[in-house]
Structure 1
Amino acid sequence: MSAVSRHYVLAAGGTGGHLIPAFALAAELHERGHHVALITDERGAAIPGKPDYLTSHVLPPGRIAGKNPIGWIRGVRGVLQGRSMALRLFESFQPSAVVGFGGYPALPTMLAARAAKLPIVLHEQNSVLGRVNRYFAGKVDAIATSFGQVDRLEPQYEDKVTLVGNPVRTEVLKLRDQPFPEFTEDSLFRILVTGGSQGARVLSQVIPEGLAMLPPTMRSRLQVIQQCRPEDIEAVRQRYAVHGIPAELATYFEDMAERLASAHLFIGRAGASTIAELTVVGRPAILIPLPYAMDDHQSANTREVVASGGARVIRQPAITTEDPETYRGDRKNALLKEQAEIYQKMAKDVCLQIQAIGKNPQTLGNAAHAAWNCGYPNAAKDLADLVEGFGASPIMDVIRMEKTMPATGGEALAREQAQ
């Protein structure tokens, strides 16, 4: 624990990808005796997993996008309002530094930190520098990265960069030292399939068919756990039943860490938190990057673990993201046919990749070890060390702690939101 207790503000977008590492850093800083506040948007405030001691403050997201002038005006207004609210929080909370995790909801807070002349540390979860972090890269004190190679990060900022990895949840980190589940030519083959916070429709279409193509000796050993969208779950259940494949399906698994612990193979998207957890635990994967992710960052996220031999990639053509029901006549029929052909090809790829990685127990074990070697188990500690390196001098910390601080730094924000 640090000798001096400080105050830190974390600013993060409203998705799990931004907030999971923020929660992990908050836990580490709290363990060291510091006080931490979180600024996010309404979505972020509702995401499960936030520590009880972490006070959260909801600001306007400040998203400025599209071509509609009215949208721009509203976005700028939201940014300015959020900046003012963040400055008032700084006045009462008096942070030693602000840590930004990217995402549009972090924009007003970062602007406020600049105006208040506070030290700023950025954390980039993906292998492509996000737009908000890209904007502030030249204006901050340090940039923490999760991958050795980060696209869109200008060479002139390299002296600010520290590779720390992407912090993961405590329950996942605890699995780091557990052995890979026993896997032999006769044992069950447990496959975990997820597609983000609410599943992915393409996985519901492709994975059951791909598993059904496996040789009978391998198919008979399957035990599938799959996360699905609510509107897809019954159709997926029927597909598995037709093929005689045991499958446990749900729209959300609260015990995801336990599911990951028992899995021999993961199939799913390539978000930053997913890659971080797979590599910390050491689980081989078949990754299907989201084709319309901003700057195609999910494809970039797969580079390191694929190069190591810990994962394989199947590409999803962007055409599959279109909804045929929005069209009529020939266009609808043509799109349905094209998607069916793509899904069939992807299912064959899934089958081939599973056979390549899972037919031989030694091959699967080697892939698990390769993934494990790509992990950054000390990411939260290393990021906390970096953050602690910025802020007021020790004497100013003592002066700050002698002041009387409100019970929470968010009362003024709450009052303004209610007006």
Structure 2
Amino acid sequence: MRVVLSTYGSRGDVEPMVALAMALRALGAEVRVCAPADEEFAERLAGVGVPMVPVGPSARALTTGAPPPSSANLPQRAAMVIAGQVDAVAAAAEGCDVLVATGMMPAAAGALSVAEKLGIRSVSVTFQQLTVPSPHHPPLAYPGRPLPPEVTDNRVLWDLDAQSIDMLFGAALNTNRASIGLPPVDNVRDYVIGKQPWVATDPALDPLHERPDLHVVQTGAWILPDPRPLPAELAEFLEAGAPPVYVGFGSMPMRTSTDAAQVAIEAVRAQGRRVLVSRGWADLALIDGQDDCFTVGEANHQALFGRVAAVVHHGGAGTTTTAARAGTPQVVVPQLADQPYWARRVADLGIGAAHDGPTPTFESLSAALEAALAPETSARAQAVAGTVRSDGAEAAAKLLLETVG
């Protein structure tokens, strides 16, 4: 069985595909991954021996560069991403039996179009349920296109969502589809979702509602066990005192990164805790030379999160799940997309605190830290950790091969 996995986005879009690739290889499949042309993704896949096909521009450059995403530039960015999918994924998928598509919606639409052109099976996957239409929750809002606050009927909001997606991505998708001899798509969102979308999230953290009109498959989160040791200097810092509070915002640019680092460090210190700052795509840095702070770049979160007092992060699905599995309290400072949803889930489960909005102040972050560091929050986090599955990638790999085979 030959499988091509296609994604475009941040580390949170790539890392689950690494897990699925390894699970598929363990079952004897031949796998390659199409991912953004960023060095960190190439190094990650090379480290586990999975061939990577670079697709499109650097995701980091696209995310952190100026200007930020908006309704004005999203169509242009979508056209660039879709064109990259059509060119690179078509070559990578030649001779494959099935394609798995995820990542940004226009990227997934481009990859699924390639599968359609080649006549091979395809599976559409999301790492959060909020892109799957449902009467139980509203859709995500796109930059520059907020949901009308006066509309409360989720069904109406989903109709507006389909219209918005078509306006943002429809022309770019159909131009590229025409270039490979495919007819136009009149509903981009429904084309990407399909009739049997997969949701690769943990049922305990992200319970699904029944959908009579869609067969939604929840596989569990795709997590690859990470055996890498922590860097020696980081291990020395951890052992030199009480567990610190980890602060990191992953692939989020945090365009006021200097202020974010200062606010976080001062708020953590006010709780009497040491601070571990992850640089991430925002390039967070220390604010002074005191020895109660340490900065880290790429590190094994599975090994690290169990050794910190709390995790302050942006609310990506992967980071939320990793912290939950570690049984470590969280403070989620959501920036965009699905991150407010994960912040609410953390708060609702009692395993941490949801910060109100994307810009923390000393006062607001201090209050959230106080709640997350309370003994009852730690106890609840440890209890929930035992309910989080670790076999999602293996379950998805078996299902994929059974479905195609």
What TM-score does the superposition give when structure 2 sets the normalisation length?
A: 0.68
Instruction: State the Cα distance separating 1:305 from its structure 2 match.
Output: 3.1
Instruction: State the Cα distance separating 1:135 from its structure 2 match.
Output: 4.2
The corresponding residue for 2:339 is 298
Among 204, 210, 220, the residue aligned to 2:261: 204
Instruction: State the Cα distance separating 1:13 from its structure 2 match.
Output: 0.9
Residue 379, structure 1, aligned to residue 392, structure 2: yes
Among 118, 143, 147, the residue aligned to 2:198: 143
Instruction: State the Cα distance separating 1:68 from its structure 2 match.
Output: 6.9
Q: Does the residue aligned with 1:195 lie in a helix, a strand or coil?
A: coil
Report the AA paired with residue 259 of structure 1: L
* d(CA) in 2 for partners of 1:170, 1:382: 15
- Percent of counterpart pairs with the same letter? 15
- 1:34-73 aligned at under 5 Å gives the runs 34-43=29-38, 46=41, 48-50=43-45, 51-60=47-56, 67=72, 72=76
* d(CA) in 2 for partners of 1:359, 1:153: 31
Residue 193, structure 1, aligned to residue 196, structure 2: no
Instruction: State the Cα distance separating 1:307 from its structure 2 match.
Output: 1.6
Residue 28, structure 1, aligned to residue 31, structure 2: no
* d(CA) in 2 for partners of 1:223, 1:369: 21
* d(CA) in 2 for partners of 1:65, 1:117: 35
* d(CA) in 2 for partners of 1:85, 1:47: 15
Report the AA paired with residue 158 of structure 1: L
Q: Does the residue aligned with 2:244 lie in a helix, a strand or coil?
A: strand
* d(CA) in 1 for partners of 2:92, 2:278: 39
The corresponding residue for 2:275 is 224
2:128–2:199 contact (8 Å) kept in structure 1? no
* d(CA) in 2 for partners of 1:233, 1:45: 20
The corresponding residue for 1:167 is 222
The corresponding residue for 2:373 is 358
2:331–2:352 contact (8 Å) kept in structure 1? yes
1:193–1:224 contact (8 Å) kept in structure 2? yes
Cα gap change, 1:21/1:232 in structure 2, threshold over 3 Å: closer, same or farther? Answer: closer
Cα gap change, 1:48/1:300 in structure 2, threshold over 3 Å: closer, same or farther? Answer: farther
Cα gap change, 1:374/1:305 in structure 2, threshold over 3 Å: closer, same or farther? Answer: farther
1:164–1:376 contact (8 Å) kept in structure 2? no
* d(CA) in 1 for partners of 2:212, 2:39: 32
* d(CA) in 1 for partners of 2:208, 2:222: 21
Specify the structure having the higher radius of gyration (Cα).
1
Report the AA paired with residue 53 of structure 1: G
- 1:87-98 aligned at under 5 Å gives the runs 87-91=90-94, 94-98=95-99
Among 354, 358, 365, the residue aligned to 1:313: 354
1:283–1:371 contact (8 Å) kept in structure 2? no
What per-residue deviation string (whole Å, max 9, x for no partner) do you get for residues 338-383 of structure 1? xxxxx5xx322332333334354xx243132244145231111121
Among 247, 261, 265, the residue aligned to 2:293: 247
What TM-score does the superposition give when structure 1 sets the normalisation length?
A: 0.66
Instruction: State the Cα distance separating 1:20 from its structure 2 match.
Output: 0.5
- Alignment RMSD: 3.8
Instruction: State the Cα distance separating 1:313 from its structure 2 match.
Output: 0.7
Instruction: State the Cα distance separating 1:213 from its structure 2 match.
Output: 3.3
What per-residue deviation string (whole Å, max 9, x for no partner) do you get for residues 282-301 of structure 1? 211111111xx23xx10112
What per-residue deviation string (whole Å, max 9, x for no partner) do you get for residues 26-63 of structure 1? 01111111100111231377454214432112234799
For structure 1, the 5+ residue unaligned runs are 1-5, 175-186, 321-342, 393-419
> Number of residue pairs matched?
326
Cα gap change, 1:388/1:260 in structure 2, threshold over 3 Å: closer, same or farther? Answer: same
* d(CA) in 2 for partners of 1:366, 1:68: 45
Among 339, 343, 349, the residue aligned to 2:364: 349
Report the AA paired with residue 55 of structure 1: P
Instruction: State the Cα distance separating 1:114 from its structure 2 match.
Output: 1.8
The corresponding residue for 2:402 is 389
* Larger relative contact order, structure 1 or 2 (CA cutoff 8 Å, min sep 6): 1
Cα gap change, 1:84/1:32 in structure 2, threshold over 3 Å: closer, same or farther? Answer: same
Q: Which protein is richer in helix relative to its size?
A: 1
